[in-house]
Amino acid sequence: MPFSDNLRYYLRERKMTQVALARRVNRKHCTVFRWLTGETIPRLPVITVVTDVLGVTVGELLEDRRNPD
């Protein structure tokens, strides 16, 4: 799932934990865990807060970055 893969990528790139992200976006760490496992995806208003925290665009967070091959 592109969102969970991209979220994991940007968290690693910024050396941020899921707990730190959860605190910054005012969500429980178990909610962020569900985003990372692909179990759920946040609503758009929360996605925009996540993108602000991570310093990326909504497109960067949602686009499918996998190889089409």
pLDDT of residue 56 exceeding 60, the answer is yes
Task: Please tell me the predicted confidence (pLDDT) of residue 66.
Answer: 67
Structural domain includes residue 64: no
Q: For the domain that residue 9 is a member of, what is the CATH number? A: 1.10.260.40
Q: Which domain holds residue 30?
A: 2-59
Confidence at residue 65, expressed as pLDDT on a 0 to 100 scale: 72
Q: What is the per-residue pLDDT across 8-48, written as a single tens digit (0 to 9) for each?
A: 999 999 999 999 999 999 999 999 999 999 999 999 999 99
Note the pLDDT of residue 64: 84
Residue 69 in domain: no
Q: CA–CA distance from 15 to each of 22, 47, 67, 69 (Å)?
A: 14, 19, 24, 29
Is the pTM for the entire model greater than 0.95?
no
Whether the Cβ atoms of residue 61 and residue 11 lie closer than 8 Å to each other:
no
pLDDT at 69 over 80: no
